[in-house]
């Protein structure tokens, strides 16, 4: 890309002006991207918490589950954002 900035013949001054112009363009693009990304990340904070209890309270059942390689978790989700919604939980 050649810039027409009124320098003829092509001298060191023209190279410096062209380099500064390109640097300024990149700086403007970087500032725009940074500001766009930083403002797009401002989302309201959601207060959803998850608590888990590992295994069963009964030690015999816990031993059997461990022997069989079965993991048993009690999961509990709490939060105002969960009201009147349905969810599907997949565990692998």
Q: Backbone dihedral region of 84: left (phi > 0), alpha (psi from -120 to 50 degrees) or beta?
A: left
Least confident of 1-10, 39-48, 83-92: 1-10
pLDDT score for 8: 59
Average pLDDT over residues 1-5: 53
Per-residue pLDDT at 81: 80
DSSP string, the chain: ----SS-SS--HHHHHHHHHHHHHHHHHHHHHHHHHHHHHT------EEEEEEES-SSHHHHHHHHHHT---EEEEEEEGGGTT--------
pLDDT at 44: 65
User: Between 17 and 61, where is the model more confident?
Assistant: 61
The domain spans of the chain are 1-43, 48-79
> 41-88: per-residue pLDDT in tens?
556 667 888 888 877 788 898 889 889 988 888 888 888 888 888 888
pLDDT at residue 67, as a whole number: 92
Predicted structure pTM score: 0.39
């Amino acid at each position: 890309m050649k810039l027409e900035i009124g320098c003829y013949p092509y001298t060191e001054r023209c190279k410096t002006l062209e380099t500064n112009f390109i640097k300024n363009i990149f700086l403007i693009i970087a500032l725009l991207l940074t500001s766009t990304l930083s403002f797009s990340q401002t989302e309201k904070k959601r207060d959803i918490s998850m608590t888990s209890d590992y295994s069963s309270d009964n030690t015999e059942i816990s031993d059997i589950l461990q022997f069989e390689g079965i993991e048993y978790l009690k999961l509990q989700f709490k939060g105002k954002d969960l009201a009147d919604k349905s969810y599907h939980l997949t565990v692998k």
